[in-house]
Amino acid sequence: MLNNEQFRKYAKQIADRTADYYKSDFENYRVYPKIKPGEIIDNIPDTAPAVGEDFEDILNDFEEIIMPGITHWQHPRFFGYFPSNTSYESMLGEFLAGALGVINFTWESSPAATELEQRVMQWLAEIIGLPKDFSGVIHDTASTASLCAVLIALNKITGGKWHEEGFDGRSFRLYCSNEAHSSIEKAAVMAGIGRKNVRKINTDENFAIRIEELRQAITDDIDAGHTPFCVVGALGTTGSLAVDPIDSVGDICKEFDLCYHIDAAYSGSLMALDEFAYLRKGLDKADSFVFNPHKQLFTNFDCSAFFVKDTDLLEKTFSIAPEYLRFDEDDRTVNYKDRGIQLGRKFRALKLWFVLRSFGVDGLKKTMRRHIEMTRDLLNFLKEIPGIEILAPVNQTLICFRLVKPRKDEDELNRLNKELLTMLNNSGEIFVTHTKLAGKYAIRLAVGKTYISEEDIKITKKVIKEIINKF
C-alpha cells in the first residue's frame, strides 16, 4: 500500500507521464493496437497478488502490458465512432472528484456536488440554447438518459400507475427512425415494453425520419388497439449525423398527446454555435432531451446531460424515500437520487465546471468551429479523389464515404470498402470505423479530437491517398 509520501511522488510522476503523452508521446503509438484476442489477459496472472506489490512494478506493467493493447481514443488521428473528447481541465476535474470521493445522492450527502450540478446544467442549457423551462441532471451515458425518458413517458401515460402498480396489460408503442441509436431499442427492452413494440420508421434520402410514415404508423397502431406513448427524435444520428424534422415530429406528438424525447447525444454540443441555431427549432415541443458533453464538449467520459421539462413528473417516476435517506429539506434542496436510476452518483459536475470555466463559451465555440473547418477540408480533399463517393450530407463533423472503383456490384463494393478500412487502420496512423447506409458499407471519419492539429490533417490526407492509390 502506498503511504502519503509515495502518493505525492507517483501522482506527480503520472501527471508528467500524462503531459508527455499529450505533448508528443502519441507518435510512439499506433492509434489502433496490433493485437490478437487473449494477448493481454495471458500476460496478467490468474490470481490477485497475496501480498502488496511494488508500485514501480505496477507502473512498469502498465507500460509493458496495458499500453500496447490500448486503442488510443485521445490520439489526434482517432476518427472512429464519434469524437470522445477529453481535455486537461476535464482530467484534472476527474482527478479531484476521485480525490474527494464523494457520492452524491441527496443534498445532505453532498451539498456542493448537488448545487454545482444544478448550476452547470443551467449553464449548459443556456449555452446550447434549450428553452428556459428545461432542467438538467447528469447521467453516465445517453443510454441511461434515454431509458429514464422512456420510463418517465410510461409513468405519464399511465397517470402514475406504472410507478405504483406496474404494467396494466396494454401494449405500449414507441416510435423512432430506423437510423435511431440502438440505445433507444434497448431502453424499450429494459423498460419492459418489448422490442416488437418499437416501431422503426423508414428514413428519407438524408436518413431523417419520414413524417407521413410516422403518422401512419401511429394511426394504424391506435386502430389495432395498441397504445402509442412516446416518440424519440434523432438530432444527429450516430450513423451519419442525420437530423429528424424535430419541429414536425413535435407537432405529431402534440396531436396524439405522446411524450417526445430527443436524442442529441452526438450533435447536441454543436447547438451552441449560431450557424446551427436551426437545430434548436421545435425543441420547445420536447419533453426531454439528452446530449453528451463526453462527445464533442471536451469533457471526458462519462458525462451525459439529460434535460426534462417536468421535474415533478421526473421525481414522481424515480422517487423512493427510505428512512435512512431522509433529512430536513427546504424548498431549495434537490436530491438527485430522485431524478434517475442510481442511488450513488459520481461528482461529474466538477470536471464540467472546470471545462466550461477554463474554455469559456467562446473557447468552446472556437474549438468546435475549428473541427467543423477541418471536416470541410477533409471533405473537399476526399471529393477530389476519383472514385470516392460521399454517402450522406456533411453539415457537422462526420464524413461517411466509400470507394466506388470500376467494380459495380454492391456486394463487391461492400467487401472492397471493408478491405480499405482494414488497410487504413493497419497503417497505425489513423483509425476509422464503419456503418451501413442504405445497405452500403460506409467508412466513417469522425473529426474533432480536442488537440488535433493541421499537421494531423496533413498526415491523414497522406495516408488516405497512399492507401487508396493501391486500389
Ligand X SMILES: *Cc1c(COP(=O)(O)O)cnc(C)c1O
In the complex, which residues of this chain contact ligand X (CB under 6 A)?
82, 141-143, 181, 183, 236-238, 263, 265-266, 292, 304
CA 126 to chain CA centroid, nearest Å: 20
Buried b (16+ CB within 10 A) or exposed e, 402-425: bbbeeeeeeeebbebbeebbeebb
Q: Compare residues 191 and 403 and give the one whose CB is closer to ligand X.
A: 191
Q: Compare residues 158 and 292 and give the one whose CB is closer to ligand X.
A: 292
Q: Compare residues 237 and 450 and give the one whose CB is closer to ligand X.
A: 237
Strand partners, 175: 199, 231
Min dist CB 186 to ligand X, Å, is 9
d(CA 267, CA 300): 16
Question: What SS3 state is found at 192?
Answer: coil
Residue located via cell numbers 480533399 = 381
Give the residue ranges of DSSP H helices in 32-141. Answer: 55-61, 88-100, 111-128
Min dist CB 317 to ligand X, Å, is 19
d(CA 88, CA 75): 14
Min dist CB 387 to ligand X, Å, is 29
Q: Compare residues 283 and 413 and give the one whose CB is closer to ligand X.
A: 283
Strand partners, 198: 174
Name the grid cell of 451. 488537440
Min dist CB 373 to ligand X, Å, is 22
Contacts of 416 by beta carbon, 8 Å cutoff, 6+ apart: 403, 405, 407, 471
CB 159 within 8 A of CB 169: no
Min dist CB 280 to ligand X, Å, is 17
Pairing of strands 398-403, 440-446: antiparallel
Q: Compare residues 82 and 354 and give the one whose CB is closer to ligand X.
A: 82
Min dist CB 292 to ligand X, Å, is 5
| 179: nearest Cα among 152, 158, 210 | 210
Burial (CB count <10 Å: 0-12, 13-18, 19+), residue 321: exposed
CA–CA–CA angle 417, 394, 230 (5° rounding)? 100
Q: Compare residues 437 and 457 and give the one whose CB is closer to ligand X.
A: 437
Min dist CB 241 to ligand X, Å, is 8
Min dist CB 222 to ligand X, Å, is 28
Question: What SS3 state is found at 133?
Answer: coil
CB 15 within 8 A of CB 23: no
Q: Compare residues 304 and 395 and give the one whose CB is closer to ligand X.
A: 304
Q: Compare residues 74 and 304 and give the one whose CB is closer to ligand X.
A: 304
Q: Compare residues 30 and 444 and give the one whose CB is closer to ligand X.
A: 444
Min dist CB 239 to ligand X, Å, is 9
